[in-house]
């Protein structure tokens, strides 16, 4: 296999079964986790028009029990109980259901997935409860910037089309009590949830013969029916229009939306080619030109709708203040770039680098990520005809150039301005005005392909060298790493926390390289952990030292533009934004807020960077890199800013037992995140807490989301935040205050404690499942993350294996004792919420 090429075992074997089910199978090596994805070829646009949201509603209902598995034994609690991941998504013309679990429980998970799709209970009492969840989701989506942008774009279509209609569903449209609605719900399920309308993708370390035998069991049987022919309405935006939308908390944004129709199948891949170059931030790219003009921070291409050769394609630009004043020029520049890319750019060069990007990116994907890639019609495959894609790109360019785009400006300003456009059919209130953009000058843009990504082709000279740096922990990986590796660096600050905003400066400097790194198969993260900073690189092992070497200059001497961008980012981070779920923003703040150092607002410049590095101490971890990279990596690390110093045992800073941090103000939705750190970071205590979190996850979700109906964003789980680990509880609610949310969490903990007094067979079974130490040894990414988290906490590399071993022998008494410690806040309780503390026990920060 040549470096960067796709191993044959990552390509799917495809079959069509007797019941019409289309099957794609990827056989993974022993020790891998296993994943399945079912795509049902029906979505929001296929639901009856009189019941908007029915398709999305059914997606939710399918998780609430089936003929063979009651709700408490269904897919969601099963996967959560085995530390897996699962989700579902209803799109315009398809619905996906997917999970990833340890391979030894894959068969049971797949049985639950297929049984719930084929034979759901659809209990009306459960429907009434779940409708309230969708109502909460609808309210949240009514404040979501991307949702409102798509609704605004839909108002400008020239002819009626499902894209412009309301499909989210809410309390008013989901008439559960109506017999006609029940008939429509069951009719939709019967029409589309059968073998002829589904495809199943599996990635697992078993043979396809085993899978085919499994699909013969009763739980996996699907109804047999022919595929359903579905029609499409014409999609046009003949006149184009300029609109201005106000979204509370949104940062300035410009969307150029194109309604396209009648395009060939290969257009999906052509759009992916275009998106790859739109995202590029290299010299000569559109993004670099827009940044150098001072107009824009970032660009992306998104496709909110695509089906059968028609779709809505949106080019999205994050604007600066100067960009807001030059929107006419920006539109002209983007359209000029699109003409170049689709009709003038050198195709062989364009295609060659695109293929390299796709090959490299596939190498490190987890099983579920592989399936989500291969199910996408935009997925490149080695057998695709490059010339057909080229023709599709030129056809796409002709339509883009001949279309009048819908131009949408979004910002969060304007006070109580009332728009002159209403769109009741979208289901969302749009505060929107029509406007006229400034006329663009006749500026001539000279476009070219961006510089080629050097990380796709360059290699460092291999050299085996004994690991001589005491600050570097070098770990081999015994399993099949598939050419992947992990590299982590941490800087600790001996003179106190760096100036506020300096991390944001370096983040902006590194952010300019994240796309190029991702294209080279390397995930790049740079995290502020409060008392330290962490740079993490994971992916194609051969590229890791190379990427790190090229980032050194950015770390030591950030470009001037990074200081301006960092200041803006720091200011924006002080208040909640509209572009991300509030509880996610709260979670991200926890590690930083746990640092008790006061924020220092010294001037941010290169001298400040130099001062910080002078007082920094770094240590590093490398996992899975081949021995031939030991020399090049140590050469790069020798030039690292700061002084090399092995990590010492952590002396955890003492925090108040009850600490409350406020971020934002109460609004239409309230959110609260409670972090309960471990009282002691021993293997036995951590094992008990991990088992406790696994036991509570589905029960917490069921109680607060389904039964109490607090909202749709509800979860709990074991997490490491910065250098401390513990259990996180998070809730975002349109109805409950922060104080009420906290009260519900405390009540849940009390009732869960009572349930452990006489543990059920299911609890005992979940505990006995434990955690296999072998799972860590085979899975490079899981092992690397676990070891790094241990080192952040001042523990050795063997700590994760000791925790896994302790989990495999866990017992109820240990879990009960640690639940008591959690409830007593022995390790402390830290809340982040968009409201003040409810009582005097909390110390507020």
Helix (H, G, I), strand (E, B) or coil at 37: strand
Instruction: Please list the active-site residues.
Output: 59
- For residue 628, give both structure tokens: 């031939």
The closest of 140, 149, 189, 198 to 169, measured between CA atoms, is 140
> Is residue 797 within 8 Å of residue 475, measured between CB atoms?
yes
- For residue 555, give both structure tokens: 């770390």
Give ∠ CA 591-795-619 in degrees, rounded to 5.
70
- For residue 23, give both structure tokens: 């099957």
User: In angstroms, rounded to a whole number, what is the distance separating the alpha carbons of residues 457 and 521?
Assistant: 12
| Beta carbons within 8 Å of 770's beta carbon, 6+ residues apart | 691, 804, 807, 808, 809, 810
What are the angstrom distances between the C-alpha of 473 and each of 39, 466, 625, 632, 788? 43, 12, 12, 15, 10
User: What is the side-by-side order of every strand in the sheet holding 406-411?
Assistant: 296-307, 310-319, 253-260, 406-411, 241-246, 431-434
Backbone angles phi, psi at 523, to 5 degrees: -85, 130
What are the angstrom distances between the C-alpha of 405 and each of 234, 242, 312, 333, 334? 16, 9, 10, 14, 11
The closest of 701, 702, 664, 659 to 677, measured between CA atoms, is 659
In whole angstroms, what separates CA 203 from the centre of its chain?
A: 20
Helix axes 799-808, 780-792, angle to 10 degrees: 110
> Is residue 621 within 8 Å of residue 487, measured between CB atoms?
yes
- For residue 509, give both structure tokens: 């400097």
> Is residue 84 within 8 Å of residue 99, measured between CB atoms?
yes
Instruction: State the DSSP code for 421.
Output: B
User: In angstroms, rounded to a whole number, what is the distance separating the alpha carbons of residues 61 and 155?
Assistant: 31
| H helix runs in 364-481, sequence order | 367-374, 386-402
């Amino acid at each position: 296999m040549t470096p960067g090429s796709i191993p044959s075992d990552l390509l799917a074997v495809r079959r069509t079964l007797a019941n019409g089910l289309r099957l794609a199978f990827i056989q993974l090596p022993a020790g891998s986790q296993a994943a399945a994805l079912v795509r049902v070829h029906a979505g929001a646009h296929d639901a009856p028009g009189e019941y908007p949201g029915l398709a999305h509603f059914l997606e939710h209902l399918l998780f609430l029990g089936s003929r063979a598995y009651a709700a408490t034994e269904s897919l969601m609690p099963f996967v959560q109980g085995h530390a897996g991941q699962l989700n579902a998504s209803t799109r315009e013309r398809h619905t996906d259901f997917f999970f990833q679990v340890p391979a030894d429980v894959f068969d049971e998970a797949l049985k639950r997935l297929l049984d719930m799709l084929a034979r759901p209970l659809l209990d009306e009492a459960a429907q009434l409860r779940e409708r309230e969840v969708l109502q909460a989701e609808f309210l949240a989506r009514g404040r979501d910037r991307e949702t409102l942008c798509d609704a605004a774009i839909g108002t400008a279509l020239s002819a009626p089309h499902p894209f412009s209609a309301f499909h989210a569903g809410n309390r008013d449209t989901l008439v559960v009590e109506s017999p006609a609605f029940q008939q429509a719900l069951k009719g939709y399920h019967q029409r589309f949830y059968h073998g002829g309308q589904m495809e199943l993708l599996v990635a697992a370390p078993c043979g396809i013969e085993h899978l085919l035998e499994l699909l013969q069991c009763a739980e996996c049987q699907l109804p047999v029916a022919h595929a359903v022919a579905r029609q499409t309405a014409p999609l046009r935006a003949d006149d184009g229009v300029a609109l201005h939308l106000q979204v509370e908390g949104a940062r300035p944004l410009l969307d150029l939306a194109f309604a396209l129709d009648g395009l060939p199948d290969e257009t999906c891949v052509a759009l992916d080619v275009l998106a790859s170059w739109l995202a590029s931030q290299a010299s000569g790219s559109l993004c670099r030109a827009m940044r150098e003009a001072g107009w824009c921070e970032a660009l992306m291409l998104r496709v909110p709708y695509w089906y059968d050769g028609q779709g809505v394609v949106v080019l999205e630009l994050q604007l600066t203040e100067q960009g807001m004043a030059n929107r006419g020029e920006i539109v002209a520049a983007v359209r000029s770039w699109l003409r170049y890319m689709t009709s003038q750019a050198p195709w062989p060069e364009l295609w060659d680098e695109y293929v390299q990007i796709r090959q490299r990116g596939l190498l490190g994907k987890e099983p579920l990520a592989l399936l989500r890639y291969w199910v996408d019609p935009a997925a490149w495959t080695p057998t695709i005809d490059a010339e057909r894609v080229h023709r599709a790109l030129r056809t796409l360019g002709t339509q883009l150039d001949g279309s009048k785009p819908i131009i949408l400006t979004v910002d969060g300003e304007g006070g109580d301005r009332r728009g002159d456009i209403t769109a009741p059919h979208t289901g969302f209130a749009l505060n929107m005005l029509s406007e006229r953009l400034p006329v663009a000058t006749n500026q001539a843009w000279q476009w070219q392909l961006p510089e080629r990504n050097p990380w796709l082709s360059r290699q460092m000279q291999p050299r085996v060298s004994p690991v001589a740096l005491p600050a570097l922990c070098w770990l081999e990986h015994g399993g099949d790493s598939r050419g992947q590796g992990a590299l982590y660096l941490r800087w600790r600050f001996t003179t106190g926390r760096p100036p506020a905003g300096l991390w944001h400066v370096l983040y902006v400097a590194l952010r300019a390289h994240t796309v190029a790194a991702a294209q080279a198969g390397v995930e790049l993260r740079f995290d502020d952990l409060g008392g330290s900073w962490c740079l993490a690189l994971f992916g194609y092992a051969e590229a890791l030292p190379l990427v790190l070497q090229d980032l050194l200059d950015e770390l030591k001497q950030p470009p001037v533009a990074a200081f301006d961008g960092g200041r803006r980012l720091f200011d924006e981070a002080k208040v909640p934004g509209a572009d991300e779920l509030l509880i996610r923003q709260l979670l991200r703040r926890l590690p930083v807020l746990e640092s008790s150092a006061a924020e220092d607002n010294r001037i941010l410049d290169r001298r400040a960077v130099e001062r910080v590095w002078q007082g920094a101490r770094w240590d590093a971890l490398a996992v899975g890199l081949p021995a031939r990279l030991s020399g090049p990596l140590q050469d790069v690390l020798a030039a690292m800013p700061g002084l090399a110093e092995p990590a010492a045992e952590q002396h955890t800073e003492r925090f108040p037992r009850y600490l409350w941090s406020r971020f934002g103000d109460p609004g239409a939705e309230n959110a609260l995140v409670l972090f309960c750190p471990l009282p002691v970071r021993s293997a036995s205590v951590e094992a008990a807490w991990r088992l406790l979190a696994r036991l509570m996850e589905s029960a917490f979700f069921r109680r607060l989301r389904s039964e109490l109906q607090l909202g749709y964003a509800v979860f709990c789980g074991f997490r490491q935040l910065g250098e401390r680990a513990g259990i996180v509880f998070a809730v975002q609610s349109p109805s409950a205050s922060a104080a009420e949310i906290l009260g519900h969490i405390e009540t849940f903990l009390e009732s869960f404690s009572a349930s452990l007094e006489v543990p059920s067979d299911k609890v005992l079974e979940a505990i006995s499942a434990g955690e296999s130490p072998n799972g860590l040894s085979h899975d490079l990414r899981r092992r690397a993350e676990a070891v790094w988290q241990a080192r952040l906490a001042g523990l050795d590399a063997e700590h994760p294996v000791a925790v896994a071993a302790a989990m495999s022998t866990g017992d109820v008494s240990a879990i009960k004792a640690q639940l008591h410690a959690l409830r007593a806040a022995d390790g402390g309780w830290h809340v982040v919420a968009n409201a003040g503390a409810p009582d005097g026990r909390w110390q507020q920060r």
